[in-house]
Amino acid sequence: MIINRILLFLSALLLTACSSVSDKPIDVYQLADMRPLQQQKQWYFEGRLALADERDSISASVNWRHDLERDDIEFTGPLAQGRLLITVVADTVIVDDGDKRQEFRGPVEDVLAEQFGVVMPVNALKYWVLGVVDPRQQFVEWADGFMQAGWRVSFKEMQRVNAVLLPRKINAEKDKTRIKLVVDQWDLS
């Protein structure tokens, strides 16, 4: 009889412990919820980027400021070693490493591939970082992201910035190229 009462007491205690687990909802990526951000005209974020392919891998801090006419993407190496500022205005790409400033004509993806051997879909990424698709390209929706331009884009973690849900951890993969981006701070003004 005492054993039954102890078991009953332990069962009640276990149920009480289970009910005290946080009820805080987990924000999960849903493409339909992100669509209003398609109209976002300007934004800024600070974060960290890792890019790897079959030949090399790099990691850097990244600060990206976007508006309708210009993108400024600043990369800083580990321990603030090395800085690279890429400015994109229309079909002009300006690369400034602090010692030398060069200007190139053509799509930013082509310039980065030719100058640095890096495959980075910058024009699509300016949409993907907001959790939305590039409206100029077809896509296939997945549970945690989408497939676009041959890239599998997934959103591993979301964050609330004021009342807006934004990506915190983003992965993009195409062939043997992988991009991981962690956004530490957003500014949508």
Q: Does the pLDDT of residue 114 top 80, yes or no?
A: yes
Q: Does the pLDDT of residue 177 top 70, yes or no?
A: yes
Taking only the tens place, the pLDDT of each residue in 115-159 is 988 899 999 999 999 999 999 999 999 999 999 999 999 999 999
pTM of full prediction above 0.85:
no
User: Which residues span the domain enclosing 32?
Assistant: 26-184
Q: How many domains does the chain have?
A: 1
Residues 6+ apart with CB under 8 A from 51: 57, 58, 59, 118, 120, 177, 178, 179, 180
How far CA 187 is from CA of 44, 65, 164, in Å, comes to: 5, 9, 11
The pLDDT confidence band at residue 87, using thresholds 50, 70 and 90, is very high
Q: What percent of the chain has pLDDT over 90?
A: 74
In a domain, 35, yes or no: yes
Q: Alpha-carbon distance 73 to 111, whole Å?
A: 14
The pLDDT assigned to 81 comes to 73
In a domain, 2, yes or no: no
In a domain, 17, yes or no: no
In a domain, 3, yes or no: no
How far CA 87 is from CA of 25, 59, 78, 84, 184, in Å, comes to: 39, 19, 21, 10, 21
Specify the residue for token string 């884009």: 153
In a domain, 130, yes or no: yes
Mean of the per-residue pLDDT values for the chain? Answer: 87
Q: Which of 127, 163, 162, 161 is nearest to 145 (CA)?
A: 127
Q: Which of 135, 137, 111, 138 is nearest to 122 (CA)?
A: 111
The pLDDT assigned to 79 comes to 60
In a domain, 5, yes or no: no
The pLDDT confidence band at residue 27, using thresholds 50, 70 and 90, is confident
How far CA 156 is from CA of 58, 97, 119, 144, 169, in Å, comes to: 20, 32, 22, 7, 5
In a domain, 78, yes or no: yes
Q: Alpha-carbon distance 156 to 171, whole Å?
A: 7
In a domain, 180, yes or no: yes
The pLDDT assigned to 26 comes to 62
Write the CATH number for 121. Answer: 2.50.20.10
Span 170-182, average pLDDT:
97
